[in-house]
Amino acid sequence: MIDVAGLGRRYGDVVAVEGVSFQVATGELVALVGGSGSGKTTTLKMINRLVEPSAGRVTIDGQDTAAVEPHVLRRSIGYAFQGVGLFPHLTVAENVAVPLRLAGWARDRIDTRVEELLALLELDRALLARFPAELSGGQQQRVGVARALAASPRVILLDEPFGALDPLTRDRLQGAFDALRRRLGLTAVFVTHDVAEALVLADRIGVMRAGRLVQIGTPAEMARQPADEDIARLLDTPRRHARVVASRFESPS
């Protein structure tokens, strides 16, 4: 379980995040949604201390993250983000193996695990020896997720992992990921600006605005009792889009 309590981050006089508190139950996926600059990515990065909080604290399964060495903390948390961040000088196999090598796994165990992960993310074995630059965007994203899952973390952080993909690929990857994280029982925080994606994947959704967490709840709770007009409209957008699309399909030409 992740417990985020009174988390805040200032850059000089600029407040990026302030007073953010929420819990993520074991096996639950919480999606943080909001516009750019709303503080959702900063909040995510404070969980694995890529950004050091200036206020508040994060505990994971009762362990205060501030008391753990940052690199040790990060090795226990999977992390995948948009832009992928694959190491361009390493092959696909080597990229996926990085967390395993850091954890000191033996070579043959690493090889087995890497093949297993590739199968899990439906990546062709032929890609193992390729470099990231030789892959399509969707393949890169999959490799990024495979790397995040490599060391079997209990907690995974994802920052728009399916951004910048064509809709079909995106849909397939979302489906694959959803099944996977339920099967593995991962505790996950997922950042996205796409409300539809959040509604599809998340158990609960947190809406952020100007550095604050405005509301958090299940899609049903939020649809029933939105904190304000904006949230009501925000959650309604996918439905409105769907209605418009449906009417286009149905209208006689």
Q: Which stretch binds other proteins (CB under 8 A): 83-91, 114-122, 162-170, 194-202?
A: 83-91
Interacting residue with other proteins among 6, 35, 37, 83 (CB under 8 A): 83
Q: Does 75 bind other proteins (CB under 8 A)?
A: yes
Cβ 8 vs Cβ 33: under 8 Å: no
> Rounded CA gap, 17 and 9, in Å?
5
Beta bridge partners of 22: 4
- Least separation in angstroms between residue 32's CB and other proteins is 17
Q: Does 129 bind other proteins (CB under 8 A)?
A: no
Q: Does 11 bind other proteins (CB under 8 A)?
A: no
Tokens, residue 240: 């409105």
Interacting residue with other proteins among 25, 102, 179, 245 (CB under 8 A): 102
* C-alpha pair distances (Å), 124 with each of 44, 162, 167, 226: 31, 19, 21, 44
Q: Does 88 bind other proteins (CB under 8 A)?
A: yes
Entry field: residues in the chain: 253
Handedness of CA 38, 39, 44, 50 (dihedral sign): positive
Mark residues 130-169: x for contact with other proteins by CB under 8 A, - for none: -----------------x----------------------
- Least separation in angstroms between residue 136's CB and other proteins is 18
Q: Does 186 bind other proteins (CB under 8 A)?
A: no
Size of the site for other proteins (CB under 8 A): 22
What residues make contact with other proteins under the rule CB under 8 A?
48, 50, 70-76, 79, 81, 83-89, 98-99, 102, 147
